[in-house]
Amino acid sequence: MPEAPSNTRAQRLALLGLVSNLALAGIKLLAGVIGHSYALIADAIESIADIVGSVVIWGGLHISARPATEKHPYGYGKAEALAALAVAILIFAAGIGIAVEAVREIITPHHTPAWWTLVVLLVVVAVKETLFRAMRRVARDTESPAAETDAWHHRADAITSAAAFVGIGIAVVGKHYTHDDRFAPADDWAALLAAGIILFNAFRIMTTPVRELLDMQSGLVTERARQIASGVPGVSNIQKAFARKSGTRYWIDMHVWVDGSMSVRDAHALAHAVKDAVRREIPSVYDVLIHVEPARNP
């Protein structure tokens, strides 16, 4: 199974995301410590989780692009779903950690964050939203669960940074008018809100890889394959059709009814015609396994 250009594009974007997360995590952590903002530190922790996640996603995409082997005749596409699931679990763990620390900060008096931390967050939101849009386009083109997970990982980071911006903004403006730190906990409440967003996203992005790993049927692909096969001359009926996804490819199993008096040679040729028609019309289908049955009398 040759590596598709779209898969290569996804790998490059995942690598770009890794480099971006590494730079942003360092900037946010340093700004959070110097600027007395736990929301920014929490955002940095989420970015560190992003770094690990990007490594896992890139590795999953790289492995899934390997050609099929004798031991793995269906290829390595499931590596994408495994990588996506691992990252979802990592995001969930990061969300729990941030929530616990945010509660501790809320009950602990501390200084109001520095105003310039808002500028840092604006830059972070712009970069992460750009990465989200680029990776989402690739995910839609390839139907890659790993790319989809990585895309929403960037969006989650942009949302948490925006939440931190609001919290820090309230704290900074509050201090400007009251000249004390009574609004400082707004920064920590923003971190707690960010944790909730992170946990929600973890549950949401977990569903796609779990469905793929459990071979959940794709109704659209199955129905389209049925229609195509039914239109091939010599096919009387399609009794069963199942489709399972592995990475960006589909494998289809299909029961085809043909004339019971047809020779084995002709039935074999018809089965190949059905397979070729389905693969031609649905490029994401890698293989079609056809079981030929004699048509039943009405």
Residues of the chain with CATH 1.20.1510.10: 5-213
Would you say the C-alpha torsion 12, 18, 23, 28 has a positive or negative sign?
Answer: positive
How many CA atoms, within 13 angstroms, populate the side-chain half-sphere of residue 173? 8
pLDDT digits (tens, 9 = 90+) for 1-36: 444 445 567 777 777 777 877 888 888 888 888 887
As a whole number of angstroms, the distance between CA 136 and CA 8 comes to: 15
Report pLDDT digits (tens) over 141-165: 776 766 777 787 788 778 878 888 8
32 closest CA partner among 177, 164, 122, 160: 164
Architecture of domain 219-294: 2-Layer Sandwich (3.30)
Distance between CA atoms of residues 266 and 289, nearest Å: 17
Mean pLDDT of the chain: 82
Residue 286's nearest CA partner among 39, 126, 117, 73 is 73
CATH topology of domain 5-213: Alpha-lytic protease prodomain-like (1.20.1510)
pLDDT at 290: 92
Which pTM was predicted? 0.65
List alpha helices for 143-291, DSSP H. Answer: 145-178, 185-213, 219-230, 264-281
Q: For residue range 238-283, what is the model confidence (pLDDT) as tens digits?
A: 888 888 888 778 889 999 999 888 899 999 999 999 999 999 998 8
pLDDT on residue 5: 46
> What is the mean predicted confidence (pLDDT) over 197-220?
82
Q: In this model, does residue 184 exceed pLDDT 80?
A: no
Domain with CATH 3.30.70.1350 in the chain: 219-294
Give me the pLDDT at residue 6, please.
52
Q: Find, among 36, 215, 17, the residue nearest to 127 by Cα.
A: 17
